[in-house]
């Protein structure tokens, strides 16, 4: 290359024309397009570096969400762009069908397996977390068919879980609004309560007792439907889009026991938690879960190119290989060589810079300490963190944990206020969540928490003014 990628000149854009074209031709995901038009159109982000985004209006924004929970090594990494460039010159694309493979997909498979421990030695590739969870359904059904138990079909998930946006993955998820729009879920999927103490605990119930009760909801559903009909349980180690729901310490051990008792496969959805976010390479390692299937995406390439995978335990691969013959499933871009090359380089950067250890020992504890200072705010009912995941619960009455009547309205107000402060956080209902790049420094955490406090103050003033 004649010049390094990080010295490329910044392009000049006609931002108003881009906004016009965007409204004329682009349907945004999870967006009320009519409302967006009334607000003047989208914010056009033109470049990024480290933990910061820059938009076409000249604003520099601290990205407290790492894109969509994914830019773990931060923006502007020339090494990742160069890895893609070199691979595209050598072999820009070939498929992994027809008894073929490429060096990057082979090397990445071995590397990720080495991060997961002895029980996981095979990966199946796709392009997004949604596709990874579609693949999970196929793997679960094929496994039980080959085991001579074709009646074990139903997968138990949780309300307010998020497992993707395709028909199958949105069905696995427990977002009722998504179900309503698309006539979901599909057959063979059922949902139980989420382990969210703040919203679901009974009066006087400890977090430990609540965790057991939430786990027992799974057992109750198994008994209702019959153990011979239940194939698996799926759960994010920490629910991300559901509001960074960190289960009580009693929850996952009990879930593990229940799955083993009734012969269920256990699926740990690591699309958000994977690749360092919780202070271990994977969230199931942090929480002591022993899953059979592990879908992953996002932090795998730090979002630089689309890639996802399902890590398949030896217990399952032995059956698939010995009894299954051809597994008639796959995607055109499964194991895309450029995406795999970027993911390999991404993991190399994380190891070289000790980012997982940094989250575990330094920035994770520091975020917990600083975010906890918001607990004294009159709108804040609870603050919780694990690694570089954090949540601030907004409520009407701190003592009783009473929500505002129109859930999501006040959270959206707070989200809008923090965006005006050129800081990116997200409102999941009335829960403000953060998930910054793993490279974030303590000073930037200070800035993030200070912006959250200012946004909460402005929101409290709005609540009082509107009489909410």
> Which alpha helices (DSSP H) does 244-308 contain, by range?
251-261, 283-287
* φ, ψ dihedrals at 173, nearest 5°: -65, 165
391: helix, strand or coil: strand
Nearest to 341 by CA among 161, 117, 103: 103
Nearest to 235 by CA among 220, 208, 254: 254
Q: What length does the chain have?
A: 468
Q: How far is CA 315 from CA 230, 277, 285, 293, in A?
A: 18, 27, 18, 10
Q: From the first residue on, what is the mean pLDDT of each consecutive set of 10 residues in the chain (468 residues)?
A: 48 93 96 94 96 95 98 98 98 96 98 95 98 98 97 98 98 97 97 97 96 98 98 98 97 98 98 98 98 98 98 97 94 98 98 98 98 98 98 95 95 97 97 98 98 98 93
411-458 residue pLDDT tens: 999 999 999 999 999 999 999 999 999 999 999 999 999 999 999 999
Pairwise CA distance, residues 416 & 426, whole Å: 9
Nearest to 262 by CA among 235, 296, 226, 236: 226
Tell me the domains of the chain and their CATH numbers.
43-73+354-466 (3.90.1150.10), 80-352 (3.40.640.10)
Pairwise CA distance, residues 15 & 17, whole Å: 5
**Which tokens is 365 given?**
């504890």
Burial class for 387, CB neighbours closer than 10 Å (0-12, 13-18, 19+): buried
Q: Which residue has the tokens 């998504």?
A: 178
Q: What is the pLDDT of residue 3?
A: 37
Nearest to 375 by CA among 389, 392, 388, 396: 392
Q: What is the pLDDT of residue 175?
A: 97
* φ, ψ dihedrals at 298, nearest 5°: 35, -90
Q: What is the pLDDT of residue 11?
A: 83
119-175 residue pLDDT tens: 999 999 999 999 999 999 999 999 999 999 999 999 999 999 999 999 999 999 999
**pTM for the predicted model, two decimal places:** 0.95
440: helix, strand or coil: coil
Q: What is the pLDDT of residue 9?
A: 58
Nearest to 448 by CA among 169, 63, 183, 129: 63
């Amino acid at each position: 290359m004649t010049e390094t990628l990080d010295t490329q000149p910044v392009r000049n854009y006609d931002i108003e024309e881009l906004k016009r074209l965007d409204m004329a031709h682009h349907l945004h995901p999870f967006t009320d397009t009519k409302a967006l038009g009334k607000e003047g159109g989208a914010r056009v982000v033109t470049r990024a570096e480290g933990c910061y985004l820059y938009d076409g209006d000249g604003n520099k924004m601290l990205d407290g969400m790492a894109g969509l929970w994914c830019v773990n090594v931060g923006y502007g990494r020339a090494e990742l762009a160069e890895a893609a460039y070199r691979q595209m010159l050598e072999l820009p694309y070939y498929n992994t069908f027809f008894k073929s493979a490429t060096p990057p997909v082979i090397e990445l498979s071995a590397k990720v397996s080495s991060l997961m421990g002895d029980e996981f030695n095979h990966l199946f590739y796709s392009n997004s977390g949604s596709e990874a969870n579609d693949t999970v359904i196929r793997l679960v059904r094929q496994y039980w068919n080959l085991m001579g138990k074709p009646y074990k079909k139903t997968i138990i998930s949780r309300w307010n879980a998020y497992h993707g946006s395709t028909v199958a993955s949105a069905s696995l998820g427990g977002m009722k609004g998504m179900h309503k729009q698309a006539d979901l879920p599909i057959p063979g999927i059922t949902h139980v309560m989420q382990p969210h103490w703040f919203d679901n605990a009974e009066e006087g119930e400890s977090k430990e007792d609540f965790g057991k009760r939430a786990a027992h909801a799974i057992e109750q559903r198994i008994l209702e439907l019959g153990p011979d009909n239940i194939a698996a349980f799926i759960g994010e180690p920490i629910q991300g889009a559901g509001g960074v729901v960190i289960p009580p310490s009693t929850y996952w051990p009990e879930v593990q026991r229940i799955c083993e008792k009734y012969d269920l496969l256990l699926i740990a959805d690591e699309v958000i938690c994977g690749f360092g976010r919780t202070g271990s390479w994977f969230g199931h390692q942090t929480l002591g879960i022993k899953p059979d299937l592990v879908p992953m995406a996002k932090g795998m390439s730090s979002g630089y190119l689309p890639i996802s995978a399902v890590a398949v335990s030896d217990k399952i691969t032995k059956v698939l290989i010995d009894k299954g013959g051809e597994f008639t499933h796959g995607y055109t871009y499964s194991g895309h060589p450029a995406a795999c090359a970027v993911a390999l380089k991404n993991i190399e950067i994380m190891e070289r810079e000790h980012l997982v250890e940094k989250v575990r020992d330094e920035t994770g504890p520091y975020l917990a300490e600083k975010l906890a200072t918001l607990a004294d705010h009159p709108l804040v009912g609870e603050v919780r963190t694990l690694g570089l995941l954090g949540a601030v619960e907004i409520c009407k009455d701190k003592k009783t944990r009473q929500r505002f009547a129109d859930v999501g309205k006040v959270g959206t107000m707070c989200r809008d206020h923090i965006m005006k402060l050129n800081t990116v956080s997200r409102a999941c209902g009335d829960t403000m969540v953060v998930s910054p790049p793993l490279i974030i420094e303590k000073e930037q955490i200070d800035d993030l928490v200070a912006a959250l406090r200012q946004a909460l103050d402005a929101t409290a003033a709005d609540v009082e003014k509107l009489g909410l």
